């Protein structure tokens, strides 16, 4: 069988397997999706948020210390050893110097992007945790009577209807 014959057969088989209608990928009901018995709402506790935020903070700290090749081995002028090597190559008319500068700037930009993402995650989770605690306090205050006692169930049910 030639390549063209085999290709035609494979293409024909693929066309036959395709359906004319639109197909959406989804989970079967009851398999953990939202449609079945096992489907539960997303539940996140304050401890979960704190742990994720803390890990993002630790990752930020470690990356800041270990991935900074721009400042690694800095001299009195603040120029790192990689930048000095790139300058030395360029001064000796080696094209590798420009490439090393390019590599250094791309690496630095990518590390800074990751550091910003880690900081954003940590800060956002801290904000979310505080915001939800404030919301809970406001709801608690709203469900208290003027004298500070808990609102009766009959009064709460008026809000739910």
pTM over 0.85: no
Are 70 and 102 in contact, with CB atoms under 8 Å apart? no
Say if 58 falls within a structural domain.
yes
Say if 56 falls within a structural domain.
yes
**Residue 94: CB atoms within 10 Å:** 13
Mean pLDDT of 81-94: 92
Say if 14 falls within a structural domain.
no
Parent domain of 68: 43-160
The rounded mean pLDDT for the chain is 80
Q: Which range (32-36, 107-111, 150-154) has the least confidence?
A: 32-36
Say if 27 falls within a structural domain.
no
**Model pLDDT for residues 24-79, shown as the tens digit of each residue:** 566 666 555 554 445 556 677 777 777 888 898 899 999 888 887 777 777 788 78
Say if 21 falls within a structural domain.
no
Q: What's the number of domains the chain is made of?
A: 1
Res 36: pLDDT: 46
Res 95: pLDDT: 92
Res 115: pLDDT: 92
Q: Work out the percent of the chain whose per-residue pLDDT is above 70.
A: 81
Say if 8 falls within a structural domain.
no
Say if 10 falls within a structural domain.
no
């Amino acid at each position: 069988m030639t390549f063209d014959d085999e290709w035609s057969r494979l293409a024909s088989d693929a066309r036959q397997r395709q359906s004319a209608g639109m197909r959406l990928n989804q989970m079967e009901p009851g398999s953990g999706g939202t449609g079945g018995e096992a489907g539960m709402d997303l539940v996140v506790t304050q401890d979960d948020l704190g742990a994720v935020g803390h890990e993002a903070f630790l990752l930020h700290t470690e990356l800041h210390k270990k991935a900074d090749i721009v400042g690694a081995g800095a001299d009195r002028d603040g120029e790192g050893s990689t930048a000095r090597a790139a300058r030395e190559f360029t001064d000796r008319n080696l094209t590798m110097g420009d490439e090393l500068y390019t590599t250094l700037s791309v690496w630095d930009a990518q590390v800074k992007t990751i550091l910003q993402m880690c900081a954003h995650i940590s800060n956002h989770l801290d904000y979310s945790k505080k915001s939800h605690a404030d919301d809970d306090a406001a709801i608690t205050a709203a469900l208290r009577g003027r004298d500070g006692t808990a609102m009766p169930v009959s009064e709460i049910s008026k809000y739910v209807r």
